[in-house]
């Protein structure tokens, strides 16, 4: 009997026929279960295509060489590879069943790459052709009878098809026909339909790879089954419960709470919340209750959708603010589900970003938890099976505009979902045009519903084309005296940082202040000066990414406690404090930056209205370094500052003016080139090739990163112990004679330690670690570079400001490690 996967844990070996038809049938059912409104292929045909791709994706495992490999009698080599030969057979099978050649090429691409990332179709297949030239005769000679039996009902005369394949003809087809076929097909498509084709390809790939991985792992999905069909979370019942438990905080007669209730009511009574409308916006001030509002919207919309639809995907710009929002959602979901949530929390709510240990709580008894269980959990986490997912912009946007296997396996679970994009102004204006088109197609053709939330609504959506619904009358809240919290003074006259910090220390006498700088260097310089010059009764903090996540979290707790206790406090920070960090200062200074960033920082000023109407005072300054260069020019494009200057005509504004200024500001953006080049790649299914006037999908980066190196700063002796244990485990894994059970035990422990050690990881540019380059202070290799507990104390780390680009003292020839 031909097998596809060996025996594992308590599962016997899996017959190849069982695996192929499990994947094929499940892929077909997944497509059939979706609500699609496609224009380039019928849903029935798409489901059939998914089925064919599934039943042929592992055809090549029928070779004698692969069977010997899976039985442990042969090491993996070129002859055991199965993706290419499977892709060739799938190509010919689909070509027989489908009229348009494009679908055969798509099937070939997906099967060929189902163990790796998507790539642009290329004719250069010489090595694979030679290997397939040996594999086909082997199957026909040794496995013909069983292959015929496998496909007897689904395809008919499979041996005829295999015998008819001429690899030279196929090579020529790749060389000559594919590009012509794609061009000819594309000539009849609109740009929206080309984008639709891109999403159809990615949907088929997502269905294939996720179904393949889960069937291979023999996953039991009972934990998640029908979770989307359960009743939605009742936000209003939760609010009523809060009122009962904390009557003073949630007093309905208190003016702010009354306005919050009106905001919530305006959302859920909006008659335009309907399944046929796919795009919604909420533009409202900080503190109005947007968390409750977006959930109330999602719940109302979900109640109108067919059963089994409406997974809620809540996206935030940064990992650093996910925990705070996740905790709020968890309170609401736990209240609604009660003991059902505690029993199976991952069924209802999931937190997903790249730094977390990917575990589905209570899916497996903890005392029985194994590395296999962890790998299974990771499959569930990364494919977003939960009813509600809290995640990052990177996870979401790199999935919908994606090529990577690990990202695309969740794409099919975005279809028919409700996606909430919070603080969406954090997306670079370079991508507005790109998102405008892809979100429109994804919404209308794949029935995804989008809610964009922000205090400064950028022009990402084309309201006329997309039919955008504004859920609330934003000016009613933006201009309400209760939210008119901040007086903004604008001083665009350039001044040296040295002059600014001297003047600040000589004149500031307020109870608390936040100063937001554009660079780590300017923030640290300002902090060090203030710490020396201000009165001793002020607590002074510095927040930059030179601090480990462990220390940043600790400092934010101390800052919140000081604010709560009304202690005298000054905090100097970089932009990391802008979005979603729940702190409130009376006085705020912001170095010059984009207007949306200015408004974000204003959200940390009199955030809760505790200082009364216009009780928060914020000043926008324009700081230069000693070389007469603006600090903002180091981090922002000059066109952004120009737009700010064009919009800001007065030297003072109030919070109620921010909405109109934001509309004016975003109206000036016309970044075309980058979006156009990415869209051209999407139209051509260009996943990774260099092409004129195109930026390949592979080169799409939501967040532009510099060349950086991840370093672990071992801030505690326990962290050092964990690192040494982790490295010891990595070394043990090199033992080729290690038993499988022992290896899996070590792998699980190593994964847990990786998650723990990320609290001490920071990213540094090469010039920032130059001073340590020729020393032994930075140890380790690859992704596990670290600075020991003693070395960080001796040379590298300051508890107040974090990593030091210049050592505390001269590095000795011998250092501690």
Output the 3-class SS for 617-643: EEEEEEEECCCCCEHHHHCCCHHHHHH
Distance between CA atoms of residues 738 and 723, nearest Å? 22
571 sits in which H/E element? strand 569-573
Among candidate residues 659, 654, 657, the one with its CA nearest the CA of residue 613: 654
- CA 286 to chain centroid, in Å, comes to 23
State how far the Cα of 38 lies from the Cα of 441, in Å rounded to an integer. 10
> What is the three-class DSSP state of 512?
strand
Q: Name the stretches of the chain with pLDDT < 50.
A: 817
Q: What is the C-alpha separation between 519 and 224, in angstroms, rounded?
A: 45
pLDDT in the model for residue 124:
64
Nearest to 524 by CA among 811, 810, 806: 806
**Within 10 A of 338 (CB to CB), how many other CB atoms are there?**
9
Beta-carbon contacts of 478 under 8 Å, excluding residues fewer than 6 positions away, are 283, 284, 285, 455, 655, 656, 658, 659
- Alpha-carbon dihedral 773, 774, 779, 783, rounded to 10 degrees: 40
Identify the DSSP state of 407: H
Helix, strand, coil percentages for the chain (3-state, nearest 5): 55, 15, 35
Query: Secondary structure of 751-793 in the HEC alphabet?
Result: HHHHHHHHHHEEEEEHHHHHHHCCCCCEECCCCCEEECHHHHH
Closest CA to 792 of 766, 767, 761: 761
Q: How far is CA 662 from CA 132, 644, 656, 732, in A?
A: 60, 10, 11, 57
Contact 412, 30 (CB under 8 A): yes
The residues, ordered by sequence, that sit 6+ positions from 565 with a Cβ below 8 Å of its Cβ are: none
Supply the pLDDT for residue 813: 59
Distance, CA of 90 to CA of 176 (rounded, Å)? 19
Q: How far apart are CA 199 and CA 203, in angstroms?
A: 6
Task: Note the pLDDT of residue 185.
Answer: 79
CA angle at 621 for the pair 615 and 626, rounded to the nearest 5°: 150
Give every CB contact of residue 676 below 8 A, 6+ residues apart in sequence: 433, 693
User: Per DSSP, what are the bridge partners of residue 515?
Assistant: 572, 589
Q: Taking Cα atoms as reference points, which of 795, 797, 798 lies closest to residue 809?
A: 795
Helices (H) and strands (E) in the chain, counts: 33, 22
| Tens digits of residue pLDDT in 792-813 | 999 999 999 999 999 999 887 5
Instruction: Report the 10 Å Cβ neighbour count for 382.
Output: 17
Each residue's pLDDT tens digit, 237-254: 999 999 999 888 888 889
Based on the number of CB atoms within 10 Å of its own CB, is 535 exposed (0-12), middle (13-18) or buried (19 or more)?
Answer: exposed
Nearest-angstrom CA–CA distance, 714 and 716: 6
């Amino acid at each position: 009997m031909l097998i596809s996967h060996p025996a594992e844990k308590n599962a016997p070996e899996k017959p190849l026929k069982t695996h192929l038809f499990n994947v094929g049938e499940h892929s077909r059912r997944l497509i059939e279960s979706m609500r699609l409104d496609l224009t380039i292929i019928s849903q029935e045909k798409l489901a059939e295509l998914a089925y064919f791709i599934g039943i042929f994706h592992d055809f090549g495992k029928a070779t004698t060489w692969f069977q010997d490999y899976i039985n442990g009698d042969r090491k993996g080599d070129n002859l055991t590879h199965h993706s290419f030969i499977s892709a060739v057979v799938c190509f010919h099978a689909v070509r027989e069943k489908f009229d348009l050649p494009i679908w055969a090429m798509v099937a070939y691409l997906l099967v060929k790459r189902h163990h790796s990332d998507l790539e642009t179709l290329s004719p250069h297949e010489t090595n694979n052709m030679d290997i397939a030239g040996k594999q086909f005769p082997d199957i026909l000679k040794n496995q013909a009878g069983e292959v015929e039996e496998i496909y007897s009902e689904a395809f008919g005369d499979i041996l005829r098809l295999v015998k008819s394949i001429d690899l030279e003809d196929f090579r020529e087809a790749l060389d000559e026909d594919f590009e012509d076929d794609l061009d000819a097909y594309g000539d009849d498509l609109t740009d929206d339909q080309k984008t639709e084709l891109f999403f159809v390809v990615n949907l088929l790939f997502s269905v294939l790879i996720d179904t393949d991985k889960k069937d291979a792992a023999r996953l039991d999905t009972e934990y998640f089954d029908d979770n989307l069909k359960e009743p939605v979370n009742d936000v209003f019942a939760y609010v009523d419960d809060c009122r009962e438990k904390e009557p003073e905080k949630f007093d309905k007669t208190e003016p702010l709470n009354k306005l919050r209730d009106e905001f919530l009511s305006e959302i859920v009574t909006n008659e335009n919340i309907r399944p046929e409308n796919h795009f919604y916006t909420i533009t409202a001030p900080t503190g109005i209750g947007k968390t409750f509002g977006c959930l109330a919207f999602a719940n109302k919309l979900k109640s109108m959708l067919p059963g089994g639809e409406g997974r809620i995907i809540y996206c935030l710009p940064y990992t650093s603010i996910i925990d705070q929002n996740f905790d709020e959602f968890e309170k609401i979901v736990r209240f609604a589900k009660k003991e059902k949530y505690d029993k199976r929390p991952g069924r209802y709510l999931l937190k997903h970003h790249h730094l977390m240990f990917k575990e589905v709580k209570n899916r497996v008894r903890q005392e029985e938890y194994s590395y296999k269980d962890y790998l299974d959990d990771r499959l569930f986490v990364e494919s977003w099976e939960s009813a509600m997912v809290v995640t990052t912009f990177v996870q979401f946007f790199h999935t919908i505009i994606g090529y990577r296997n690990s990202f695309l396996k969740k794409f099919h679970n975005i279809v028919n979902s409700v996606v909430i994009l919070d603080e969406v102004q954090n997306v670079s204006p370079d991508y507005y045009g790109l998102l405008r088109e892809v979100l429109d197609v994804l919404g209308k053709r794949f029935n995804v519903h989008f809610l964009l939330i922000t205090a400064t609504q950028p022009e990402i959506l084309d309201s006329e084309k997309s039919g955008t619904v504004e859920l609330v009358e934003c000016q009613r809240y933006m201009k309400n005296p209760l939210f008119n919290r901040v007086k903004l003074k604008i001083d665009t006259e350039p001044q040296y940082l040295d002059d600014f910090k001297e003047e600040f220390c000589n004149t500031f006498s307020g109870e608390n202040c936040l100063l937001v700088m554009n660079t780590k260097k300017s923030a640290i310089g300002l902090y060090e000066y203030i710490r020396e010059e201000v009165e001793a009764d002020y607590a002074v903090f510095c927040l930059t990414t030179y601090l480990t996540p462990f220390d940043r979290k600790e400092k934010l707790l101390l800052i919140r406690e000081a604010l709560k206790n009304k202690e005298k406090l000054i905090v100097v920070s970089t932009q990391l404090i802008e979005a979603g960090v729940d702190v409130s200062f009376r006085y705020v200074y912001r170095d010059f930056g984009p207007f949306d960033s200015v408004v974000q920082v204003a959200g940390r000023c009199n955030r809760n209205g505790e200082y009364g109407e216009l009780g928060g005072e914020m000043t926008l300054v324009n700081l230069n370094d000693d070389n007469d260069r603006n600090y903002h020019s180091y981090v922002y494009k000059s066109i952004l500052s120009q737009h700010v200057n064009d919009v800001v005509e007065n030297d003072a504004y109030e919070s109620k003016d921010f909405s109109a200024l934001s509309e004016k500001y975003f109206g000036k953006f016309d970044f075309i080139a980058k979006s156009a080049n990415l869209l051209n790649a999407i139209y051509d299914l260009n996943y990774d090739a260099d092409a004129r006037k195109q930026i390949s999908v592979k080169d799409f980066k939501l967040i532009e990163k510099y060349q950086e190196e991840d370093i672990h700063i071992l801030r505690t002796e326990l962290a050092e112990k964990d690192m040494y244990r982790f490295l010891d485990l990595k070394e043990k894994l090199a033992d080729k004679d290690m038993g499988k059970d022992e290896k899996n035990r070590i792998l699980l422990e190593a994964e847990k330690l990786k998650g723990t050690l990320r609290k001490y990881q920071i990213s540094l540019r090469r010039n920032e670690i130059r001073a340590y380059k020729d020393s032994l202070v930075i140890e380790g290799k690859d992704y596990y570079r670290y600075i020991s507990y003693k070395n960080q104390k001796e040379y590298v780390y300051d508890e107040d400001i974090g990593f030091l680009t210049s050592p505390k003292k001269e590095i000795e020839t011998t250092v501690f490690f």
